[in-house]
Structure formats: structure tokens, C-alpha cells
Amino acid sequence: GSNAGGGGAGRQGRMHALASLKTIREELHRDGLLMRARGVPSGLLPQAAVAERRFAVPVRQGEEGGRGLVGLQNLGNTCFLNACIQCLAAVPPFRGFFLSNHHIFRLDTESTMRGTLALAFGELLHKIWQGEPYSSVSAGILKDRVSKFAPQFTGYRQHDSQEFLRFLLDGLHEDLKASDNEEMHQFMQLRLDHDQVASKYKGSSAAMETYCQENLSCVVAAFGGQMVSQIECKTCGHQSCCYDPFLDISLPIPSTCQSKEGDTEVHNSRCHLLDCFKLFTEKEILEGENMYSCPNCNTRSPATKQLKFVSLPPVLVLHIKRFSYTDVSREKLVTALEFPQTGLDLSAFAVETECGEMKRPAVYDLKSVALHVGGMAGGHYHAFCLNSENNCWYDFNDSRVSKAPIEQMDPSEPYIFFYQRRDVRLPW
């Protein structure tokens, strides 16, 4: 990571941070946002008003203390936001970028939010990880920032947690992207080299390089992956590859396992997370109206299409497609989902390597889960998070934080999983 105390890069980062902070000084002061920038001498920082901390839930006698056990107040149907933030705060490498104040030196003052969303998010993570255990704080300033970036979140009605997550990460990316960051460029290239993909996927590196020229940030470094869509012509055998970046993956629930809200008879209503991956990467037959226009044999031919992963990210976000919307109906799938807490191996869904077997399997451990309780008519979000200080699981239910073994989780509730890869270390 950057060393703010010395070297040309440190001085340049300091000047950039100071310029950013001066530009938005009045706005931060009005909102009462405290800028915690320990890497910059306090005498050089503009002073912002300290946001009032209101602790709605007192520390309960006999409860275990520790960092990262601060709840988030429900401001009126904001549980969708609270669950997302707690899940992100439970992912050590991403949280660490903000707690060590690297974001101060990476602000893009020409972004739509001029860096204020990243500053608000960083401040909230500081409150969660430095606050009194079992107290609670407000995410109101962050909500206001996101609402300015994505106006649909203005007000206090319920929203989809995954939709909010995407807009939040997109906003943080815009505030923190820097295409000239050589350290991040090298990291992304090393990731592709690390996975040792077969030479027939050589286009993946060029595609990633093109993407990173304008889209490089801590968000992409942490959550960014790459998949390939392979199409094979059944007439001549020609193969084509299209490479696409992703920040999260939406996994379908197999139809044989689907159980809908209100069903009186449930058949095979339990599946494993790997079953969802198998369906996601299953070969699709292109025929009839969907036949492939092959550039090699110049005919419309039957073909197969399959998705595979070229580069799996350090932090993997998995969204389970529990909700379906049509013109005439809205349904929620309440299928019970089995998932590994540790050792989720996705090597079987990755592209081939030069050596055949992956020398470095893509293995993940679970850090947090956003859950949805209830149905389409009315529901509630909360989060189960693994505390890295004591290796215990906690249920973050708005202001209330309680120790809860993950085995107590209702298997029909998991909606968004946050996994961390074992063998990749982020560059900060």
C-alpha cells in the first residue's frame, strides 16, 4: 500500500488528498462528517464537525466485547442498507483499505460524488470498528451520499439489498478509481498469471488490460473477476470466446429444488451452493431461432454456449436469485441452501490451465451473509458475520448485535454470500 509518510508517491498522495478535502470541506462540515485521516498530519487537514454518535443499545452485562460489534440504526426500512454494510465491514481486506485510510489518497475529485461517498463509507467503517461493543450508530450520511449518486434510494421505503450493494460498490469505484495506479495494474496482471490459464484463453489478459485502463480501483481489485463465454459451432468445431468482467455473480436455484413461498407441498426443496454453480456454468444448446452465426463456416449453425471463470476475485460476492418478477406475478423462492463455511473450491468451474489441473485451486472461506426474512408482501434483511477478532459469528439485526452460531441460520434465508479467497493477497 501507499506510505503517506515518505517518498514521491507519498507526497503526491498527500497533496491529492489535501486538494480533495479542501474542495469538499464545506459539504463535509454541513453534514457533520468527521474525516479520519491518520496518514496525514492533523495540522494540515481542514477541520470538519464531529458527527454525533448516538448509542441506541447499551452494552449488555455479560456479553463478550471486541471490535466490530456495532449495530446500525434502522432509519425507516433501511435494513437492506444495514445488512450490506455489515457484510462488507466483515471482509478483512476490503475493510482494511478504509480503516488504514488508503482511500484518502486515492480520491477521484472529478467523480460524480467528488470523493464524498468514499469518505462517508470510510468514516462509517471506523465507527463500526472503533465504537463501543453492542452500541449502534447511524448510516444516515452514507445513505444520503448514495441517494445523491442513485436517486432511487432517496426516502425510506424498502429496497432490494443486492441492488443497493451494486450501486454502493459502483459509487465507491467511481470515487476511488485511478487508471494510473501502477501497483494495482501489476496486481491485476499477476492475478491472471497466478491462475495460469491455458494459452487458448490468451485474449483474457488483453481484455482485462483494456478494462483496467479506465476501470481500476480498490473495488475492482477486491471484487473484480473475469468470466469467458465459449461458443462452439457444431458444424465446423470453431470456438469463439467473449470475456466479461464482473463484481458479483447471480446464481440460479435449480428448478428441481425450487420451493416457492406459500407452497403447501415441498419436493426436493434443498440444494447445495455448488448445485447453483453447476447450473450457472451448464452448457446451453443454441438451436432454432437461437442458432449461432459462425464466422468460420459462414452459416447459421447449432452450437453450444458455456460460461467459465478465467479469474476468480479475492472477494467473491454470490447473489442467490430468490426473487422472480413477471407482468402478472412476484414470487420468492424459499429453497433451503446448503453452503460451506470453509473450503469452497471453485476450480471445477474455472477454465483449463497450461498444466491441466490448477496448481493453485480457487478456494474460499465464508466471511458474511446477507439474509432476507419474510416474503414479497413484506420482508426484513439482517446479516450473519464472522468477527475476525475472535472468530465467532454474530447476527447483525439493525441496532441489535448478538452472538449467534451460524448453524442457527435459517437455510431458506441466505441471499448474498461474501467469500474470501485463501491464496490471493490484495496490494495494500
Tens of pLDDT along the chain (428 residues)? Answer: 333 333 454 455 445 544 544 444 444 444 444 333 333 333 323 222 222 222 233 334 344 557 999 999 999 899 999 999 999 999 999 999 999 999 998 888 888 899 999 999 999 999 999 999 999 999 999 999 999 989 999 998 889 999 999 999 999 999 999 867 777 878 887 877 777 777 788 888 888 888 888 888 999 999 999 999 999 999 999 999 999 999 999 999 998 888 887 665 544 588 999 999 999 999 999 999 999 999 999 999 999 999 999 999 999 999 999 988 766 667 889 999 999 999 999 999 998 876 655 556 789 999 999 999 988 767 899 999 999 999 999 999 999 999 999 999 999 999 999 999 998 888 88
By three-state DSSP, how is residue 165 classified? helix
- Total-model pTM: 0.84
CA pair distance 128, 72, nearest whole angstrom: 8
Say how far apart CA 183 and CA 266 lie, in whole Å.
52
Please compute Rg for the chain using Cα positions.
Answer: 23
Of 203, 205, 268, 272, the C-alpha closest to 242 is 203
Assess contact for 311 and 286: CB atoms under 8 A. no
Q: Which residues are marked as active site?
A: 79, 380
* CA–CA gap between residue 240 and residue 232 (Å, rounded): 7
Under 8 Å between Cβ of 121 and 86 = no
| Interatomic CA distance for residues 258 and 264, integer angstroms | 13
